[in-house]
Amino acid sequence: YTNNVGYSERGGVPIEPYLSEQWFMKMDTLGSSALKVVDEGRINFHPNHWVKTYKHWMENIKDWCISRQLYWGHRIPVWYHKDTNEIYCEVEPPKDIENWNQEEDVLDTWASSWLWAQDVFTTEKDQKYYYPTNLLVTAPDIIFFWVARMIMAGMHFMNDIPFKDVYFTSVIRDEKGRKMSKSLGNSPDPLEVIDQYGADALRFTINYLAPLGQDVLFSTDKCEIGRNFANKIWNAARFLLMNAQDLELDESLIDKHIDFSDKWIESRFNSTIKSYKAALDKFDINGAHKIIYGFIWNDFCDWYLEMSKNRIYSEDKEIKSAVLTRSINLFAEMMKLLHPMMPYITEEIWQSLDDRKDGESISTSKFPKEDESKIDKPAEEEIEFMQSVVNAIRNIRGEMNIPPSKQIDLYLKADKISDVQKKYIQSLVRVEKLIVDADIDKPKASASSVVKGCDIYIPLEGLIDLDVERQRLQKEINRLEGLLNAVTKKLSNEKFVNNAPDDVVEKEKVKQRDWTESIDKLKKILEDLK
């Protein structure tokens, strides 16, 4: 007959069954109370779907094999009488100890770990103050081995839960989805990664990539996310400080010179604080990272600084001082929000933004608190619409190969565009003539785009050579159609689809989808040029 013999991963030798006597602890009476406190919501799991795994373990709990055949560990409190073979099991050893032999097996390592929440305190006062604690952070693969057993021990010995919330971290896996381990040799040396990308970059990237309750497929090149973000922050800080040199920053000027963009960034910052804290309250660490990333990179650096450059470069020192004072103050508060995620760069920048006292640290400064009175949703919506228009125009410039230096005529078919929106649209995308009307017809040979509530037209004559551009587009369409035909033929081959690895087939499907979308897009552009 055929038999499947397991082999040791480390030793490479067969693993054969071997019957032996072990010590067990009866668990069914301990499990009911531990199951009840989770069902009642006294202990909450984050993410919540791990409750199902926990309940499965607890509802099917088995007696615990507590003995281990190791040289090192807590010896099991069991003694055998030398003459009668009587078994003695108590906390204290027998009085006539010379007539007894203690069990040589030691306790399972979890037999000490399950007491951790209550036995780390040296005084009863500390235990009463700290027990139960608020939060346990751990890995989901030890839900039963540690989390469940700590709950059981707490309910049995302390008659109370050991903690109120349990946050389960993501598991960092390699690109193939395998758990990182020494034996597989698939774990990068963190010191080498830090040397290449920086400690902040590594720290930020892993949290940025780790959605609540999901594993992370990690490769070192993904640390470019954190490194690029750090570079963005450094460059913004340098830009502000460089322009503030030899300039007296004056707090009193902030309210004297207020631009609409200032109200908008203040609103966005306070909205960001609110959503950032809400994410942390829900233990959505990944979400909090993306919120602060989006605000710093997009709202502050890409939009606010761009909208403020005319004032930053202004010859009027009052206007320049006002915008830089506001920007530097805001940047310092942004560093406080980011500090838990990127502690080194934020401390360094925060120290450089003002004259700090000896021993003063960002880590002990007051954490930002949202000011509801500064949240202006209509202002955010007004700028958001302007951003969508500007992004659409920039996309047209890129698609049509319109040089960034060339000014354009812009037609916006819309019921209304505010003066604020007009001002920023004209300055950000180099508009020479702007026409806004609800009844505009599309000009001949124009590129077009649509955003919510607005049709965008850019006449192309005089900006590009229309004949050359038509030929270029048709040539690219022909090239992509050739590639699309080839990949479609491959995917219609059942032998390839059934026999090729899943990831190879998926890559071909992605190519098919991307090329189809590109062809459709190019055909639309070509139609606009007719």
Q: What is the pLDDT of residues 445-480, one digit of tens each?
A: 888 888 888 999 999 888 888 888 888 889 989 999
For 67-76, 372-381, 394-403, which range has the lowest pLDDT when averaged over its residues? 394-403
Q: What is the pLDDT of residues 169-204, one digit of tens each?
A: 988 888 888 888 877 888 899 999 999 999 999 999
Residue 164 confidence (pLDDT) above 80: yes
Cβ-proximal residues to 257 (8 Å cutoff; 6+ apart), any chain? 311, 318, 319, 322, 323
Confidence of residue 1 (pLDDT cuts 50, 70, 90): low
Q: What is the pLDDT of residues 330-365, one digit of tens each?
A: 999 999 999 999 999 999 999 999 988 888 999 999
| Rounded Cα–Cα distance for residues 30 and 72 (Å) | 27
Q: What is the pLDDT of residue 4?
A: 80
For residue 422, the tally of other CB atoms under 10 A from its CB is: 16
Confidence of residue 509 (pLDDT cuts 50, 70, 90): very high
What percentage of the chain carries pLDDT values higher than 70?
100
Q: What is the pLDDT of residue 233?
A: 98
Provide the mean pLDDT of the chain. 92
Residue-range domains of the chain with CATH = 18-66+108-168 (no CATH), 192-367 (1.10.730.10), 378-459 (3.30.2320), 466-528 (1.10.287.380)
Peptide bond into 47 cis (omega under 30): yes
Cβ-proximal residues to 390 (8 Å cutoff; 6+ apart), any chain? 424, 425, 428, 429
What is the chain's Cα-based Rg? 33
For 212, 300, 335, the CA distances from 233, given in Å and listed in that order, are 26, 10, 9
pTM: 0.82
| Rounded Cα–Cα distance for residues 233 and 230 (Å) | 5
CA angle in degrees (0–180, nearest 5) for 246-250-255? 140
Q: What are phi and psi of 36, to 5 degrees?
A: -65, -40
Cβ-proximal residues to 266 (8 Å cutoff; 6+ apart), any chain? 330, 374, 376
- From the list 109, 99, 104, the residue with the least C-alpha distance to 75 is 104
